[in-house]
Amino acid sequence: MEDIRAHALSVEKLLEVLKSSHSGIGEEEAEKRLALYGRNEVETDRESAASILLRQFKSPLVYILLTASLVALLMGERVDFLLIVGIVSVNALIGFFQEYRAMTTLESLRKMTELSAKVIRGGRLREIPSSTVVPGDIVLIEEGDVVPADIRLIDSRSLLIDESLLTGESVPVEKDHEALLPEDTPLYERKNLAFKGTLVVRGYGKGVVYATGFNTELGKISLRAGETSPDTPLTRALKSFSKRWMAVLVSLLSFLFLVGILQGRGFYEVGMLVIAELVSAVPEGLPIVITLVLVVGALRLSRRKTYIRYLPAAETLGSTSFIAADKTGTITQGKLKAQESFALDRDALILVSALCNNSDGKRGDPVEVALVRWLEEEGIDWRAIRESFPRVREFPFDTRRRLMATVHRTEDGYLLLVKGALESLSEMTTEIREELKKVHDEMAERGLRVLAFGIARLGEPPESLEGVKLKVVGLVGFIDPPKEGVKEAVETARKAGIRVIMITGDNLKTAKAVGSMVGIYRRGDWAIEGRQMESYTDEELYNLLKKTAVVARALPEDKYRIVRVLQSRGEIVAVTGDGVNDVPALKVADIGIAMGSGAQAAKDVAKMVITDNNLSVIVEAVRWGRVIARNIRRAIHYLLSASFGEVFLISSSFLMNLPFPLYPTQILWINLVTDGVQDKAFPFNREEIDLMRERPKKPESLFFDRSLLLDTLSTAAFMGTVNLLLFYYLLGKESYPLAVSITFTSVVVNQWFIGMQTIRELPFLYKPWRNFTMNPYIYLGLVAGVLLQLGALYLFPSYLHAEPLPTEGWFLVLTTSIGVFLFIELRKTLKFLFRKRGHS
């Protein structure tokens, strides 16, 4: 069905377009339209489980690991083959189960429509499943109902609808069926429409359905929810590294193969070299170590009211450069509070607040609930006041006059009490004091929603409000107040180089006021409305967003575009949301953060859920995300230093026309007793320095930047060189088997030292006790590795082509290891001194 601008059409014209009437359509016509337009549901095709599972294996690193497993199988090492395949499979299954759960998104959206609807068909009132509502149906809605489809109101009485689901605006919207609006009226100002999925807070309405299913505003959102989430920074970095490493590996092996042939070596010998190089080059423990770091990090976050639904998202937190945060519920409490009051007659203001009010303090209109709580804070017994002044009549809130009135009996007559907009009350009084107007304007300028209160003493209860003269007795300003800890969290984020943009459906003044309270909006910052974004190109909008702190009157498509524009310029964006309107932005964000109390649809697409809906929890999660990312970086450095060191040793020996310094089985054993036991401790590293004082790093440099590359290559080259020299020395002094055994053990112990030194970035002598408290588990891994290596040398040496070491052999092993330790410490000390000089 074509898009109908229902808000710009009169009721009669729309009924004509829809070929309907005030009596609705007939049952036969309804069946035809149901077949033509489809059910009033939000559904989409599901990706098969098999497709999701296969996608987990589409990674260059996985290809390398599977190649290594085949090589191990060809060598007859079935245990290693099964181990590597097992690691890849476990990693794939974890990713599969996480993604499969996210597929429940659209089902949650559909559940929102599993309701009944009251419709008029053929002049008769019927109750039908909302999924069978069709365009042209006449629908009735009242307090407590969920609107079943997008409707143009035909009639309304004091109708108030909560549209935060779609617009994010915290205050319910007053509806007016008589309004006729311009075609370009924004969604949040279409007061003659009611939208599917929104909640009727008060009053009654009747309307004609003009859109169902995917043609509704809710349906359009669900279509965008089907978009693919972006890869995490770690995933992108690993893909980039794997491709480069595969290219380097193929080039190196091709070169060595050619050199071997030119040296006159046999094909078998050269083939053994290729196998040894491949086994050395592949850090097969990397996926499982990364998974362990993410799992441990996710467990730590769960203790801080943060639950990770998609494991790689844990490290994405550490790369975040922008946080696009909802105002309501994340920055503010999500409920109105009487912030300020101004009384010309305090007793009368209290009287009106207590009596012209239908709330019991827990339920009702948000403004009336806030008034009751304000009275309680002032120590006023509002229940006693209501008992003393019984109500005899109510004039419900009138959307055109923008006021509500009640009549109460007193000992000597009646009281007419009114609350509403000051402009409306002004029409019922002879004069408004200038002081009152000034205070009203000042409150409004500070972003408060201001209500005026009036009173009239009468002899008889009035039949209408016409001709009644009021005395205005005061004003009350309301706001959705900030949560505790948000201001401090904003400052922490700013120091960490993260820009927080507050996005809200509220008006600009209110948004700026709240933004100022929590430190998001400061002097020099920009605050814009969502509709202004249409006039900017993506490039212009990106430059604007770098200076923008507040986006008011924002629609779902505005939030979605903000995320996409920032991502297109390389920013890592975290988005918070709790409603269905947030689903598209949550899905495409680098990390979508849903509120635990929010809509199920939002939680299903989010990568992270927080049970304490507070920005401070998110900022603290970013800190732990940086710890997780730093631990992954350390693990990568350790594993690659070990792999590259072995490649350097083997390649150099081959180029020097020396025999193999290590057997392939020894290389696999090295990976077991060094990487296999020590790298499992890296997830438990603690924060060494205040990571929230560092600016966020780009994904491509977070895990594989120049600094890491230089550290890794220098460590690998030094370790490879000292062991090459050791092997060359031993060949002229000892037998070949013993030379290999000593070199084999030297490489193992060297890598233990590298592992112990990698847990810290600062030098060993800087706060030396931290070497033992940063991560005690590394030493448990070391003990296990020592026992395994001693077993290899003295219990089952023949299985690994090894021999027991003499005392001199252990001395040589210790000498190379101390050399590696001193080299790494020298490099760390120089970097530390250079960094301190840079900060001084």
Please identify every residue annotated as catalytic.
326
Question: What distance in Å separates the CA atoms of residue 697 and residue 233, rounded to the nearest whole number?
Answer: 10
Comparing CA positions, the residue from 449, 417, 600 lying closest to residue 513 is 449
Question: What distance in Å separates the CA atoms of residue 488 and residue 464, rounded to the nearest whole number?
Answer: 52
Exposure of 254 by Cβ count < 10 A (0-12 exposed, 13-18 middle, 19+ buried)? Answer: exposed
Residue whose entry in the numeric block shows the structure tokens 């594989």? 704
3-state SS track over 301-343: HHCCCEEECCCCHHHHHHHCCEEEEECECCCECCCCEEEEEEE
Q: Which amino acid is at 769?
A: W
Kindly give, in sequence order, each residue whose CB lies less than 8 Å from that of residue 336, ignoring residues fewer than 6 positions away. 170, 171, 366, 367, 369, 370, 449, 478, 479, 480
* Token pair listed for 551: 């986006």
Backbone angles phi, psi at 325, to 5 degrees: -110, 135
Strands 573-577 and 403-410: unpaired
Question: What distance in Å separates the CA atoms of residue 629 and residue 739, rounded to the nearest whole number?
Answer: 40
C-alpha 235, offset from chain centre: 17
Contact 493, 622 (CB under 8 A): yes
Q: Is the dihedral of CA 641, 644, 646, 652 positive or negative?
A: negative
* Token pair listed for 690: 């205040």
Question: What distance in Å separates the CA atoms of residue 80 and residue 158, rounded to the nearest whole number?
Answer: 73
Neighbours of 683 (CB within 10 A): 23
Kindly give, in sequence order, each residue whose CB lies less than 8 Å from that of residue 294, ignoring residues fewer than 6 positions away. 308, 311, 312, 314, 315, 628, 632
Contact 201, 562 (CB under 8 A): no
* Token pair listed for 136: 């042209």
Question: What distance in Å separates the CA atoms of residue 674 and residue 557, rounded to the nearest whole number?
Answer: 51
Beta bridge partners of 529: 552
Question: What distance in Å separates the CA atoms of residue 400 and residue 451, rounded to the nearest whole number?
Answer: 15
